[in-house]
Amino acid sequence: MTLTRHRKILKLGFPFEVLNKDLKLIFASNLVGAFGDGLYAYLLPYYMAEMLRASPVEVGILYAVMSLTAAFTLLIAGMIADEYDRKKIMIVGWIMWLPAPLIFSLAGNWIQMLPGMILWGFWLGGPTSTAYITTAADKNKVTLTFTALSAAWSFGYIFSPALGGYLAEIIDMQIVFYSAFTLYALAGFILIFISSQHAKSYKQRPSEERYSFFKLLRTRKLLILSLFFALTMFILMLFRPFVPQFLADAYGYGDFEIGVLGSVSFFGSAVLGILLGKLGDKWRKTYALAASMSLCCISLILLLSFGDFQILIVTFFVAGGSYVTWSLMSAVVGPLAPESIRARWVSIPQTLGMFSSFIAPYIGGVLYDFSPYYPFLAAITITPFLALLASARLFDE
């Protein structure tokens, strides 16, 4: 094999080579926005509990409100993203997030966090970006494209939780929230430079491809996908908001240590996400989903079994494999939909997923009140079942 051929293979194997100019700009936007988000998002449940004296149930209520808002906005985004310029809707999505960290910085109790959680729940970019990416991506590299873009979020989160925890410890959380506001604004600004994208007109499609929106709603494959998405999101949101608090309650770790472990989990998400993307494109996207759920189960078993910081570093790296679940589901769902109604089609499982998960943090809070171990034990019980479902080829691509 020649050196030129070796170089060509290495170039093709490098995950970010699958991104065109527009997708690279989206990668940059995700990276900047995620860095801002990561400064406080991982610490936020801990901040609510320690600084605002919110109980686990009240923390669960706040996250339930955010999820419920997300459910409604995902459905709305799916409808308008097939009618208007998807680029502009993605930019508006960042604009809606801008006031959230400012509201958090001013809140004196958990009730005053509610307006910020509502705005933080505006996920206009969910089905919009899924439709945009699916249309712009190389059709043979869809899974790797989604996980590479997800890696941008992960890379943004690698250092930001630790930095956010450090700044909160030596200064206060106000500077953390203000920094997040600035980076959100920059993330939206970057998207100004991507190409506009409109859904292909319904009337331009051949008659045999003119599937109606309501006909797609009744398809078995879409219903199965939606139910799977709903159950998966429910389980993930049952325990995830309480991980930082568990580290504090069970093992006595503070802001900085919790932030470091959050950074490790997102580093694991970047590395394992790319590997899962390659697995999905080489074999099956659903196998990558099954692997993600298996990694989630393994990490939770380790979390409950070992409090040593060095072992927790390994634990949280493995946990990163479950942080790309949304991207993997998008890679499965996106290519199945006709382009003319892709965003609306994608919004159905995403919306049902959010509707099912809005109650999950509340239930997780109730379980956590009984015992900090209960939400995690419930997830350990169900994630192997989800892995089996994903690998059972119930929704073939």
Per-residue pLDDT of the chain (397 residues; tens, 9 = 90+): 444 444 443 344 455 677 888 888 999 998 999 899 988 887 888 788 878 888 877 887 888 788 788 878 887 887 787 788 888 889 998 999 999 999 998 988 888 999 999 999 888 877 888 888 888 877 777 777 877 787 787 788 777 877 887 887 788 888 899 999 999 999 999 999 988 888 775 445 444 344 555 565 566 777 777 888 888 888 888 888 788 888 888 888 877 788 788 778 888 887 887 777 777 777 777 778 788 888 999 999 999 998 899 999 999 999 888 887 777 777 777 666 666 677 777 777 877 777 777 778 778 888 888 888 999 999 999 988 888 887 776 655 4
Supply the pTM of this predicted model: 0.73
24 token code pair: 């690279």
Length of the chain, please?
A: 397
141-169 burial, b at 16+ Cβ within 10 Å, e below that, comes to bbbbbbbbbbbbbbbbbbbbbbbbbbbbe
Q: What is the DSSP letter of 121?
A: T
Pick from 205, 212, 321: nearest CA to 271? 321
Pick from 376, 373, 365, 375: nearest CA to 56? 365
Q: Count other Cβ atoms within 10 Å, centred on residue 328.
A: 30
What is the structure's pLDDT at 312?
92
Residue 364 to residues 68, 94, 291, 292, Cα–Cα distance (Å): 16, 29, 24, 21
Under 8 Å CB-to-CB from 33, ≥6 apart: which residues?
Answer: 94, 153, 156, 183, 184, 186, 187, 188
Residue type, position 347, single letter: S
What is the structure's pLDDT at 216?
58
**Fold of the domain built from segment(s) 19-194+209-391:** Growth Hormone; Chain: A; (1.20.1250)
Pair 233, 66: CB distance under 8 Å? no
Q: What are the φ/ψ torsions at residue 347 (nearest 5 degrees)? A: -65, -20
What is the structure's pLDDT at 218?
64
Q: Count other Cβ atoms within 10 Å, centred on residue 35.
A: 24
What is the structure's pLDDT at 21?
86
What span, in angstroms and rounded, lies between the C-alpha atoms of 88 and 91? Answer: 5
What is the structure's pLDDT at 177?
92
What is the structure's pLDDT at 265?
84
Pair 377, 241: CB distance under 8 Å? no
Pair 239, 376: CB distance under 8 Å? yes
